[in-house]
Amino acid sequence: MPGITEGFGEGTGNPPLREGGSGEGVLSGAAFVFPGRRGDYPMPCQAPHDVRAWFLNLATIALAVMETTSSLPPASRRPAAPASLILRMALPFALPFALTLIILATVGEAWPRSIAPGSGLKLAGLIASALAGGAVWRTIVHAHADERVHKFAVIGCSVTALMGWPVWTVGVLPSVNGASLGREEVELMRLGRIDVTRPSKGPGFYYWAWLEPVHPGAGVAGGRYFIPETVYQRWAPHKPATVRVTHARGLLGAEVVTRYR
């Protein structure tokens, strides 16, 4: 193997290894230079006679670097954090998923989830994700005294909280909003086109109807409404010009569609 037996960097296309003259750690191309004075440790650029000698030199360098790092003062070392810290920072993202599964397993569709257009829960979802991220960060602060861990946890919890924002908005909060409904109202809506789409994962179809309020000042806005399959089968053969939409205000203030007629 001429690339190794003739010297690391010669005949292999890699730049030759060089030493650091000032004692600083330098990595130039394929060069390994470590903390310490010139000549303190064997260098790979000394053209080892075989592969075993080259790896022996490299292992010696690694041991020397480990000894140098272990001798540094505590303030210069990186904070030692357990592996559970990463799992804890993932909680703002995992929590809404777990809550969604619990709601589907216990409540199902007993709480209506069909939110009318223009009455979404994006702001409520953002607030919920921020509260979840802040709560997890507070537990990390109480568990670790190192301020560097606190700063790292701020970044991690912020990222995972933003990742959980859509799950709160379309998974957990629509069911919570439908847990308690106010007085029902009926709006006369003009029916536009009807769309059929496929879910990104899993079998089946989604059915949508484009509706616009006939009278100004209606309690719900116009837009694309999700409709059940039974409603689609009733409307598709002979599309009516107008339909009646029954809706009510939910627990979190969003308008929930309860029936189509």
How confident is the model over 15-36, as pLDDT tens digits?
A: 333 344 443 333 333 333 334 4
Question: Domain end: 177, 198, 225, which one?
Answer: 177
- 79 inside domain: no
Q: Are residues 119 and 158 in the same domain?
A: yes
Task: Provide the domain limits for residue 55.
Answer: 2-74
On whether both 173 and 190 belong to a single domain, the answer is no
Q: With a cut of 90, say whether residue 143 has pLDDT above it.
A: no
DSSP string, 179-243: TS----EEEEEEEEEEEEE--SSSSS-EEEEEEEESSTT-SS--EEEEE-HHHHHHHSSS--SEE
Region 145-168: what's the mean pLDDT? 92
The overall average pLDDT reported for the chain is: 77
**DSSP 8-state code for residue 116:** P
**Quick check: 61 pLDDT over 80?**
no
135 and 64 within one domain: no
Residue 115 maps to a domain: yes
192-239: per-residue pLDDT in tens?
999 999 988 888 899 999 999 999 888 899 999 999 999 999 999 988
Q: How many folded domains does the chain comprise?
A: 3
Please give the model's pTM, rounded to 2 decimal places: 0.64
Q: What is the CATH number of the domain that holds 228?
A: 2.40.50
Q: What is the pLDDT of residue 35?
A: 41
**87 contacts 160 by C-beta, under 8 angstroms:** no
